[in-house]
Amino acid sequence: MAGLRKILKLYGRMKVGDVMWFWDYVADEPVTESEMPEGSERWKASEKAKWLAVKKQIDASRQRNAEGF
């Protein structure tokens, strides 16, 4: 399961056999599609958390570049 966790955290989702797995960025754990169907409130919260983390990384990178590093 450790390998699946790493892949899901990096890519967000992956189909294994007949089961689609998603990374829940709020709970920081893998979940099946039945636990977090696309469009559900849980899925929306996870997507928001994912993109807020991306924005935070971009802002930190811009700040480092502005400081001349």
pTM across the whole model: 0.79
Kindly tell me if the per-residue pLDDT of 5 is higher than 70. yes
Give the total number of structural domains in the chain: 1
| HEC secondary structure over the chain | CHHHHHHHHHHCEEEECCEEEEEECCCCEEEECCCCCCCCHHHHHHHHHHHHHHHHHHHHHHHHHHCCC
Say if residue 50's pLDDT is above 90.
Answer: yes
pLDDT at 69: 63
Mean pLDDT, the chain, whole residue set: 92
Separation between Cα atoms, residue 55 and residue 63, nearest integer Å: 12
Q: Could you list the residue range(s) of the whole structural domain that residue 22 is in?
A: 2-66
> What would you report as the CA-atom Rg of the chain, rounded to the nearest whole angstrom?
15
